[in-house]
Amino acid sequence: MGNPQGFEAFHQRSITDRDAFWAEQAQLVDWHRPFDRVCNYDNPPFARWFEGGLTNLCHNAVDRHLRDRPDQNALIFVSTETDTEKTYSFRELHTEVQRMAAILKAQGVKKGDRVLIYMPMIPEAAFAMLACVRIGAIHSVVFGGFASHSLASRIEDASPVAIVSADAGSRGGKVVEYKPLLDEAIRLSSHKPGKVVMVNRGLAAFTAVEGRDVDYATERAKVMDVVVPCEWVDATHPSYTLYTSGTTGKPKGVQRDTGGYAVALAASMKHIYMGEPGETYFSTSDIGWVVGHSYIIYGPLIGGMATIMYEGLPIRPDAGIWWSLVEKYKVSVMFSAPTAVRVLKKYDSSFIKRYDLSSLKALFLAGEPLDEPTAKWISDELGKPIVDNYWQTETGWPILAICNGVEKAPSKFGSPGKAVYGYNVKLLDDQTGEELHGSDVKGVVAVEGPLPPGCMQTIWGDDARFVKTYWSSVPGRQVYSTFDWGIRDKDGYYFILGRTDDVINVAGHRLGTREIEESISSHPKIAEVAVVGVADQLKGQVAMAFAVLKDTALLGDEAALLKLEGEVMKLVDEQLGAVARPARVRFVGVLPKTRSGKLLRRAIQAVCEGRDPGDLTTMDDPAALQQIRDMQS
C-alpha cells in the first residue's frame, strides 16, 4: 500500500484516481459483502461511500482480532481519580461488549435507534459505544458533566430510545454528579427516553426513577454468557452523531457513516499515525469529543492496537503521570492537545526525563493551533517528532498532517503539514471565491467535494442546514469551508491563522488574532495568550490580549506588569507592525476554556464589550471569566 513515488504522487492519485485509491484502502477492513460502488457523488455535496457493501464497526474494532490476537491488550483503563487500573484483552472486550449489547437489546434498542451516552472516562462507556454499533444502533455521546440545558437540547435532537449514564465522574479529586444533571435534562426535554441504564461507581448517592432507570450491574449479571452477533449494516448506515461544541441555537449533530469511517480510520492508523498491531496508542482526549471517538475507541482498535482510556488530569498526582504510562505500557503513538502541553510547560522538565520513552515514535497534537514556542519546547524535552495535525469534528480524521507512514517528511513548527490524501484542499478568496495560488497568500481553507470517506454525511435530521452551513459560504462555489484562514508556503505546508470569524478589522486592516497570539507567546515570560477583537469607536475594533504568565508570582507586582506589558507591545510592533499592537495586554491567572481545552474567545470578547457571554455550560473554570470581567469594571 506504500507508494514508491512518494507522498505527492500518493495524494495526487487519491484525487485524480479516487475510486481506485479508496478501493485499495478499503482492503484494510473486513466486509461481510463487498461494495458495488466506491463513491456515489450523484447528488453533491452528499457523498455516499462504499455503497452496497455490508460491514460492522464493532466487528472491525474487536471481533476480527480474536483470530490473531485474542489475549493481547485491547483496552487499558487508568483512573488517577479513583486509583484504578484495569486491562481488557480483545477476548475480554468482546465479552463485555456483548453483555452491554444484550442489556441494550433488553431495553428495546433496535437497529437504527439512537442511544445517548453521558458518561465519564470509564470502560463501560467504551463498551456502550461498541455495543451500539454492534447491533446497528446509532450512539450520541455527550461530554460527561455537560449542563442540563445543553444535554436536554441534545436529547431532544437525537430522540434516543435509551440513555447510558453513571452516578458521577471525577475531576481533580472533585466528584461531578451526573445523575441530577441527567434527571433535570430529561425533565427539560420534550423527548423522554424509555430507559436509562445506570453504572453505579459508588461516587455519589442517587435515586433511581422507577420504571425508567435500570442498574447496569444487575442487568449484566443476567446476561453473562449471552452471544450477540454483529448486525451487518450498509456502509452508508449512520454509526453515530456527535454534537459540535460551541454552537449557538439548535445543536448541530454531525452524522457519520459506518464503512467510510472504518476505512478512513484504518488508513489513518497506517499512513498518518504509523501504528502497528500489538502496539499501544494513548490519546489524552475524552470520548465526549471527536478525537475520543476516532482515536481512543475506534481507530486504535481497528488497527489492532491497545488503547489507553485515561480518567484524570495531566498533573495529578504529578506532572509525570502521562509519561509514566508511556513507559509502563510501551506507548508507541501518543495524541494530545497543545493546551495540555502548555500546562505541562509550567512544570519542571524532570517530570519527562525520569521515564523511559524509547517506545514512543511521535507525539501528535491537534484540537487548536499549535504555536511555535510550545512545539519547540516539547520537541526539545521529548527528543521525539512532534506532529501537528489539523481537522474538525465534521471531518472525523485529519485534513492536514504529515503522512510519515507514506513517506517520511520533516515537521515545520507552527504548521500542521500538508493536505492529507483524499482531501482536495484549496485556499480561496473569501470575497470572490477565486482560488489563491502562490506562497504565503492568505485565504479561506476549503475542500472541494466530495469529502473523503469518514467525513460527515450530513447534519442529523437537517440536510438543508448541512448544505447552507458548510457548502454555501464561499461566493460562487460549492466547496466545504473549514471557516479557518490559512496560508501555504512554497513547500506546500499549511499554516492555520485562526477562524474566519476571529478576524479583527483595525482601522481597515484585517488581522488574524492567531498571528498576534503567536507574536505575544514568543515572549519568554508568557505561558499562554488569547487575543480578541473588541469594538472601538475610533478604529472599528482593537485587539485586546489576555496573557497567562509562566511565573504567576508576578501577578501582584503592578510595576513589573506594566513593564512587561510595554515589552510585549514592543515585541508585537517589531514582529507584526504597530497596527497589530494590542490596545492592552492584561495578565490573568487562567484563561476561560471549555473542558476540552478550547479558548472561549467569543465569551472573552462579549465580556470586554459588556455583552452577555452566552452559554457557558462547557466552561472548565467559571472564575476565569470573572477575572476578565473585574478588569473591565
Same domain, 440 and 566: no
Question: Minimal CA–CA distance to 113: which of 99, 89, 133?
Answer: 133
Same domain, 544 and 398: no
pLDDT at 246: 37
Question: Minimal CA–CA distance to 296: which of 57, 76, 60, 598?
Answer: 76
Q: Quick one: average pLDDT of 571-579?
A: 82
Is the model's pLDDT at 436 over the cut of 90? yes
Q: How many CB atoms lie within 10 A of CB 245?
A: 20
**Final residue of a structural domain among 484, 519, 546:** 484
Contact in structure between 528 and 547 (CB atoms under 8 Å): yes
Q: Quick one: average pLDDT of 339-367?
A: 93
Same domain, 614 and 478: no
Per the domain annotation, does 332 fall within a domain? Answer: no
Encode pLDDT of 286-336 as tens digits: 999 999 999 999 999 999 999 999 999 999 999 999 999 999 999 999 999
Contact in structure between 160 and 126 (CB atoms under 8 Å): no
**SS3 of the chain: helix, strand, coil, percent, to 5:** 35, 25, 40
pLDDT at 42: 98
Same domain, 571 and 613: yes
Share of the chain above pLDDT 90, in %: 78
Is the model's pLDDT at 248 over the cut of 60? no
Q: Which domain holds residue 435?
A: 7-312+389-484
Helical ranges in 109-178 per DSSP H: 123-134, 148-158
Same domain, 461 and 564: no
pLDDT at 32: 98
Per the domain annotation, does 331 fall within a domain? Answer: no
Same domain, 98 and 239: yes
CATH of residue 582's domain is 3.30.300.30
Contact in structure between 337 and 343 (CB atoms under 8 Å): no
Per the domain annotation, does 12 fall within a domain? Answer: yes
Is the model's pLDDT at 633 over the cut of 70? no
**Final residue of a structural domain among 420, 453, 484:** 484
CA distance 468 to 203: 44
φ and ψ at residue 216, rounded to 5 degrees: -60, -50
Based on the structure, what is the number of domains in the chain? 2
pLDDT at 247: 36
Same domain, 513 and 478: no
- Give the pLDDT band of residue 536 (cuts 50, 70, 90): confident
- Give the pLDDT band of residue 249 (cuts 50, 70, 90): low
Same domain, 541 and 441: no
- Give the pLDDT band of residue 3 (cuts 50, 70, 90): low
pLDDT at 58: 98
Same domain, 64 and 203: yes
Per the domain annotation, does 344 fall within a domain? Answer: no
Same domain, 545 and 396: no
**CA atoms lying within 13 Å on the CB side of residue 272:** 32
CATH of residue 429's domain is 3.40.50.12780
CA distance 615 to 172: 24
Q: Which of 166-175, 176-185, 586-595 has the lowest mean pLDDT?
A: 586-595
Per the domain annotation, does 467 fall within a domain? Answer: yes
Same domain, 235 and 102: yes
Angle between helices 259-271 and 18-25 (to 10 degrees): 80
Encode pLDDT of 98-115 as tens digits: 999 999 999 999 999 999
Same domain, 554 and 445: no
Q: Which of 236-240, 398-402, 581-585 has the lowest mean pLDDT?
A: 581-585
Residue 422: burial class (beta carbons within 10 Å; 0-12, 13-18, 19+): buried
- Whole-number mean pLDDT of the chain? 93
Encode pLDDT of 597-617 as tens digits: 778 888 898 889 988 887 776
pLDDT at 474: 93
Q: Which of 110-114, 235-239, 273-277, 592-596 has the lowest mean pLDDT?
A: 592-596
Encode pLDDT of 449-476 as tens digits: 999 999 999 999 999 999 999 999 999 9
Per the domain annotation, does 417 fall within a domain? Answer: yes
**pTM score:** 0.86
Q: Quick one: average pLDDT of 479-485?
A: 94
Per the domain annotation, does 352 fall within a domain? Answer: no
Per the domain annotation, does 369 fall within a domain? Answer: no
**Final residue of a structural domain among 469, 484, 499:** 484
Strands 509-512 and 494-499: unpaired
